[in-house]
Structure 1
């Protein structure tokens, strides 16, 4: 089988030509999309999307750390409860040998099998949405983020960073695609889905709903539990050193220009993309009526908020029955906002239809992994061709029965088993939103009440029976974590909403000594680390987005993981 040559090679093979063309083409993408369905001949036939225009062969560049955390990483400056950021020490690359030993001389022998970028947990947020659970902040500070109004501008800056990468930081090989691993929206709102597709494909996005002239949310409510950037109010966050930033809200709702990815990109669904607030399977019209309506609850008593949050974490209210009762009990405490039909929840069918819309093709492929077979069968899982002998599999790990943890239904599990058996001679990379330990949700799918659900332990065992699976790549935890799983690596990447705001470059190489290596390299957005609070330009807001996320009250201090969870070389035996 052909390979991408390493930077040391002087020859270009077919795979190098294909990947170079993908990097150069902005009109469409490489990729073979395979339908999910029943495994029928029709569903499993490849539907190739060919790049438009002339292919341009480009030799792999020399490896470069530019724009990665191998060069520098955001670090706090000064003292006090609110801290500014600046250029900090680089994160070194750690070689991990739990699954195979590192043999000398492999640097000169290796050839690249795949080189791509993972984005996860963008959480593009309509901060004025009537059905947000900001009121839980009264009982837990981390239930609301002071920087949520800047998620779109932050994501556009991340796209800028990905576009600026010179190639794989370890090999220099051209990056061939981007994979998102879910929670790209926050409220399961149609307008957020539009924003996500606009950010990824490029264009002008206005992150404002309701009254186009005025912000209608918690940050000008007069409630001290929330940061009021434009007010002298001594709110809880200002007591911790948060600044006053005049003009912030108007700037946060201003039109954002996204450059759009230059690479083909693929999509994976997450629980925030499929459930109300990422948690509740409301069903019926309740969620839609509240989401598009004119009443919004801002705050509740602290004790009640703490109890509600505790029960939510336990998964005690998957269908939202208790949440409905809470909202009805506080109807008199709701404030009036401007209704907006664009806030309506989207179904899985809406999600698929939007991805398949030609207006959202961008750099391709059409559907971003999803096909008409997915639409016909109401499924959100698929496989796609990464290279001549590497296959990608994207799973749908959200449980439609509710709760933020995940699982697979029996139909999807059987499809996964068939796919692995049919591709025993390929190397396989699996993508999902949930990581294995978070897949313990066995709530039944309301649309398939007779179908069993299957957890993470069962999936790990399945992958171990198929040693061609090299890695399971996911998100959800908002934390960097890399775990050896006997025959494969599980790679979990931090979010782009909580600090550290990261994406991950992954390069798969053959060392030609009986081992493979997976190189993982973390990148931040292109925004400067130093901020000027008077700079409300798009670049200035992107920098402020990162700074505010670092200082967010209640944030976890462990999301960067350990050095072995960040920039790594992960060795494993060649299957």
Structure 2
């Protein structure tokens, strides 16, 4: 049941395959000469590769259990022609249609919250991360990177928007949502809760299973090479000013934005525990195993176990109560985006309306660029479990949108239907991927509504030629999937991007271009935050903490960076597609 770490994986039966994956992580291309030629060709086709992974990539150096990061060679552009063939000379004919940015899985975490399960890290790798006290600074550093870029590397178009595809918060707390809105719109932020004068989380507990950065105690992490950094926790919770995006931004909801740690149904039973003063920092192995199993297989019983531990068994540690830790509802999530002080570069509401704040319906449409429509879906299921699905009402709404913006489509028998009056390309955004939408448990707030899987959604999208891309997150991994069809115009690309909490901590630039030959190109370029690669354990300033955020994430013993990195064809790509509507 316990996930093997990167190091354990390398010594297991699949050692050869894992070693190959780590080779990819450190040097993704077969030879330095071949890589350099590919990089030169990629740059020659581009307007400007600076500030992207086409230019440089964080690369592990040295040996030992704890590895430092440095600047390594960038990743060349990979042309993917599974859905259409590209013609020569298309760069000269190319017309940019849209250029935008995807953030995903920021997981801004209140690490001092009583309703966390750090003690389950040996069973659930996301329960505790050594870098998680730095999530807010890490996200702000990513904003700095986007602000420094002039536009898309292949079209040169300025970014029309940034879309955050869910899990912006880690535990759907009001204070985490406040941090997210501040990071995106700009302003003063204090990434700490409870007693502002002291840290009250597991990282100063003295527990051997956690990294205790300020202590000389040889916990499990320090034995694996993690440093001792005096003043780290105080610095991590220190106020700073987030610059905020200069580009309009939107939000898509994720499972961590609507349930307890993204897994357990929030039926209002634990609100007093969120805001109260008792925090569990450890349980015996048998209880941990039982709770971990319940979280993964029976979320309702996990809530009962947690209630028993906190109310019946007594807290392990007293912490300062804080009402800001209260969990938010879908209605409150939308309403917070409507705060005029959080409008930043716009748009007002960031996709959400007063109607959304009233109904809790967190799906909407918005303009990406002239002739390009964005559709943001809510794929969460409030019944619990991490994976998602989509309700019947939302599915019908989506189909009506697709019909409105297409002059023709295909019925379920494959016959052409010609009814629409306008053509717009459609880019779909969701948190979950097509492969992680199998959770069809009845939504407890809409018990009699049907739920639909990712496969059903793919089948619907392939009936509408105007759908060119489905952009999502959730898996914390880079993966690009072609959804082909015998009728070429019914094909589309699914673009899944790694998180910004786990290494490799990526965001993605996405550009749509018309090649003037009956095809479109979707350019997908990965970017890292603005943080420097080199770390200095004596530097606990803002820049030093941002650099540590990346390096600590790489060295997390429960992380699997090679698996999350993806292959070359999941990185910087040109995705070819038949242009719909002739």
5 Å matches for 1:150-549? 150-284=134-268, 286-313=269-296, 315-318=297-300, 320-324=302-306, 327-328=309-310, 331-424=313-406, 425-486=423-484, 487-549=491-553
Question: Is the 1:319–1:401 Cα contact (8 Å) retained in structure 2?
Answer: no
Question: Is the 1:280–1:317 Cα contact (8 Å) retained in structure 2?
Answer: yes
Q: 1:138 to 1:298 in 2, by over 3 A?
A: farther
5 Å matches for 1:543-558? 543-556=547-560, 557-558=562-563
Aligned to 1:75: 59
Question: Is the 1:318–1:403 Cα contact (8 Å) retained in structure 2?
Answer: no
Q: Which segment is superposed worse, 238-247 or 129-138?
A: 129-138
Taking the aligned partners of 2:196 and 2:212, their CA distance within structure 1 comes to 20
Aligned to 2:14: none
Q: Which segment is superposed worse, 562-571 or 377-386?
A: 377-386
Taking the aligned partners of 1:283 and 1:135, their CA distance within structure 2 comes to 23
> C-alpha deviations, 1:498-557, integer Å up to 9, x for none?
000010000000001010000000000000000111011101100000000000011013
Provide the TM-score with structure 2 as the length reference.
Answer: 0.86
Question: Is the 2:214–2:232 Cα contact (8 Å) retained in structure 1?
Answer: yes
SS at structure 2 position matched to 1:308: helix
> C-alpha deviations, 1:399-441, integer Å up to 9, x for none?
0111110011111111001111111121000000000110001
**C-alpha displacement of 1:99:** 0.2
**C-alpha displacement of 1:381:** 0.2
Structure 2 residue runs without a partner (length 5+): 1-44, 407-422, 485-490
Question: Is the 1:519–1:570 Cα contact (8 Å) retained in structure 2?
Answer: yes
Q: 1:472 to 1:570 in 2, by over 3 A?
A: same
5 Å matches for 1:105-184? 105-139=89-123, 143-184=127-168
Taking the aligned partners of 1:93 and 1:472, their CA distance within structure 2 comes to 20
**C-alpha displacement of 1:331:** 2.4
Taking the aligned partners of 1:395 and 1:509, their CA distance within structure 2 comes to 24
Aligned to 2:15: none
Question: Is the 1:188–1:273 Cα contact (8 Å) retained in structure 2?
Answer: yes
SS at structure 2 position matched to 1:113: strand
Count of paired positions: 513
Question: Is the 1:279–1:318 Cα contact (8 Å) retained in structure 2?
Answer: no
SS at structure 2 position matched to 1:404: coil
Question: Is the 1:152–1:256 Cα contact (8 Å) retained in structure 2?
Answer: no
Taking the aligned partners of 2:310 and 2:110, their CA distance within structure 1 comes to 22
Taking the aligned partners of 2:565 and 2:342, their CA distance within structure 1 comes to 33
Aligned to 1:46: none
Q: Which segment is superposed worse, 135-144 or 435-444?
A: 135-144
Taking the aligned partners of 2:394 and 2:334, their CA distance within structure 1 comes to 17
Q: 1:139 to 1:490 in 2, by over 3 A?
A: closer
5 Å matches for 1:4-19? none
SS at structure 1 position matched to 2:299: coil
SS at structure 1 position matched to 2:569: helix
Question: Is the 1:137–1:305 Cα contact (8 Å) retained in structure 2?
Answer: no
Q: 1:189 to 1:94 in 2, by over 3 A?
A: same
Taking the aligned partners of 1:82 and 1:330, their CA distance within structure 2 comes to 40
Q: 1:572 aligns with which of 573, 577, 581?
A: 577
Taking the aligned partners of 2:501 and 2:120, their CA distance within structure 1 comes to 18
**C-alpha displacement of 1:301:** 2.1
Q: 1:318 to 1:518 in 2, by over 3 A?
A: farther
Taking the aligned partners of 1:330 and 1:101, their CA distance within structure 2 comes to 64
Question: How much is the aligned-residue C-alpha RMSD, in angstroms?
Answer: 1.5
**C-alpha displacement of 1:100:** 0.1
Aligned to 1:4: none
Taking the aligned partners of 2:83 and 2:232, their CA distance within structure 1 comes to 50
SS at structure 1 position matched to 2:400: helix
SS at structure 2 position matched to 1:95: strand
